[in-house]
Structure 1
Amino acid sequence: MDNIFLYVVIALVALILLSSFVTVQQGTIGVTTIFGKYNRILFPGLNFKIPLIEKVFKRISIQNRSVELEFQAITVDQANVYFKAMLLYSVLNQEEETLKNVAFKFMDERSFMQALIRTIEGSIRGFVATKRQSEVLGLRKDITEHVKEQIDNGLEQWGFHLQDLQMNDITFDDAIMRSMAQVVASNNLKAAAENEGQALLITKTKAAEADGNAIKIAAEAERQAAQLRGQGVALFREEVAKGMTMAAKEMQQANLDTSVILFSMWVEGIKHFSENSKGNVIFLDGSSEGMEKSMKQLMSLNQLMEVKQQQPAK
């Protein structure tokens, strides 16, 4: 009998000793109570606690936690907007007061999650209710910043911190989605038509500029050619005049009539016409009166040239 009692005592002592130690996993922090009242926090590792009196009330995870949200909101113009979001949050810090808030503010984890989700949904719905359907898609970043601004203070009082909120998907009713697609398609067609018109205008403008430049170049070339032709004719006449002047001087020195030169040029001209003619008919007066008339005209031209040569150069 004594041995049995001894064994029982030893077993009770061993049970008490074993219950005096508790292990807290890495990434979590234990919160203990004595007779239902907060006592202290236990950090990761092996911890000693008062046996039979001190109890581990809750193990709090200090790791990042995420949750996916799906909810609906209504814009100011009565359009339904459907959101899919991902929420990332964690315990604010490892201070004792913060951990007490996390452990005792809510009855359980489910109550906390319900309050957190409803708070975020309410914040987003309030924001979307002031915007039009056409504005919502472009306000993804503004919605996220608005939510953080609205609930950060409340979460800190609960001992948590909102690290990130991502709007993964924002959709509307099928009818609205189809109308938005039609608007985008029509805007794309309009932009394409405007671009095509601009390209055609540029092409036409460049072509007109090229034609204008070609006309300018051709006109300049024609002007230069005409100028060169005029200079050539002037040089030709100058050389002819010089040759006739020299010939006249030589004939005067030989006491010959200079009108013979004009007559000779006239005959050469008629010869040139006949040799290089391409079907044209030239009528010449071959009578003695006509010959006499032509000779008088040539002699008058010869005298006029002599008078010009005798005039002093200006």
Structure 2
Amino acid sequence: MDLIVLVPLLLIGFFIIIAAFFTVKQQTAAIIERFGKFTSIRHSGLQFKVPVIDRVAGRINLKIQQLDVIVETKTKDDVFVRLKISVQFQVRKEKVYDAFYRLENPRDQITAYVFDVVRAEVPKMKLDFVFEKKDDIAIAVKRELNEAMMDYGYDIIKTLVTDIDPDVQVKAAMNRINASEREKIAAEYEAEAERIKIVAKARAEAESKRLQGQGIADQRREIARGLEESVDVLNNVGINSQEASALIVVTQHYDTLQSIGEETNSNLILLPNSPQAGSDMLNNMIASFTASAQIGEQMRKDNVKREARERKEKRELPPSTDLPESGYDDDL
């Protein structure tokens, strides 16, 4: 009978001794209460408490934690936008008591402050400034949270605006505006490139025309020099200049006909090209030169007569009475 009673007592004593010891993980704090009243705070390691009398009321995580809060609000230009605010916070070791006993749900408290700050700051800004001033929004949230949560034993490490999501229709409109702006810039660059190409092409054509004109001028100069030498040779054998020029033209005419005949694939037709054409061309050119010489001689005679008449009229003019006596010339 004694053995039957002793074994249960030993088992009960064993479990009581085991219950007296407990462990606390790293970066964690345990709250010890005795009969419902706070007794102590235990940190990492193997800890001892009075069995039955003391109990672990709770544990506090001392690591840096993150809470993501999504806030929907309206901007100054009446655009609804969703902001994702990431809050990194930590329980201060010296404020574990306040964090455990003074605040029932710290995450709900932080969320409420984030909503309050964001909905106070964003309506003051237009949508474009919300994107530009997101760091200012994060700083305002952190400042407000620090002031509110420090009394409860929480330290706000950092706040970040990690996402800004406007309404779907507004986002589509912004994308169209951005695309239009980029197309405008692209069109300006393309127009500038086309202008540069046109200017370069015009300069190249101008230079080509200049060189072509210079080549034609040199060619005609050499042709004229050759014709001059040909005329001098013909003059030496008793052929005057007009007849020599006509003969050279006719000779070039027949040379051209010969070169055309040598080209089997040529579509060029030289008019006139009959056998009588050379003789007619020669006669017409001689007649033209003769008529031109006669006209030139007549014009020269007319000019001589006109100049003689003008000199005669000038000598017959009376002296001007408007001139002063000192300026009068008796020889007139």
TM-score range, shorter chain: 0.5 to 0.7
**Preserved contact between residue 33 and residue 57 of structure 1 (Cα < 8 Å):** yes
Unaligned runs of 5+ in 1: 241-261, 285-314
Count of residue correspondences: 251
Map 1:205-244; keep pairs closer than 5 Å.
205-219=199-213, 225=218, 229=222
Partner residue, 2:102: 105
Q: Which amino acid in 2 is paired with 1:68?
A: D
Q: How many Å apart are 1:142 and its aligned residue?
A: 3.8
Q: Secondary structure at the match of 2:77?
A: coil
Q: Which amino acid in 1 is paired with 2:101?
A: F
Q: Secondary structure at the match of 1:106?
A: coil
Q: 1:275 to 1:216 in 2, by over 3 A?
A: closer
Does residue 160 in structure 1 map to residue 160 in structure 2?
no
Partner residue, 2:174: 180
CA distance in 2, matches of 1:22, 1:134: 56
**Preserved contact between residue 119 and residue 151 of structure 1 (Cα < 8 Å):** yes
Q: How many Å apart are 1:118 and its aligned residue?
A: 1.1
Q: How many Å apart are 1:228 and its aligned residue?
A: 7.7
Q: Which amino acid in 2 is paired with 1:116?
A: I
Q: 1:140 to 1:272 in 2, by over 3 A?
A: same
Q: How many Å apart are 1:170 and its aligned residue?
A: 1.3
Q: Deviations over 1:45-92 (max 9, x none)?
A: 32222333332222112334333333211222333222344x352425
Q: How many Å apart are 1:161 and its aligned residue?
A: 3.0
- What's the C-alpha RMSD, in Å, of the aligned pairs? 3.9
Partner residue, 2:140: 146
Q: 1:272 to 1:204 in 2, by over 3 A?
A: closer
Partner residue, 2:41: 41
Partner residue, 1:51: 51
TM-score, length-normalised on structure 2?
0.60
Q: How many Å apart are 1:26 and its aligned residue?
A: 4.1
CA distance in 2, matches of 1:8, 1:210: 113
CA distance in 1, matches of 2:204, 2:139: 57
Q: Deviations over 1:79-116 (max 9, x none)?
A: 3222344x3524255x3x13233222312xxx211111
Q: Secondary structure at the match of 1:76?
A: coil
Q: Deviations over 1:207-261 (max 9, x none)?
A: 22222333344455567x389859x95xx99xx9xxxxxxxxxxxxxxxxxxxxx
Larger RCO, structure (CA 8 Å, separation 6 or more): 1
Q: How many Å apart are 1:124 and its aligned residue?
A: 1.5
Unaligned runs of 5+ in 2: 251-277, 288-332
CA distance in 1, matches of 2:29, 2:55: 14
Q: 1:204 to 1:2 in 2, by over 3 A?
A: same
TM-score, length-normalised on structure 1?
0.63
Does residue 131 in structure 1 map to residue 102 in structure 2?
no
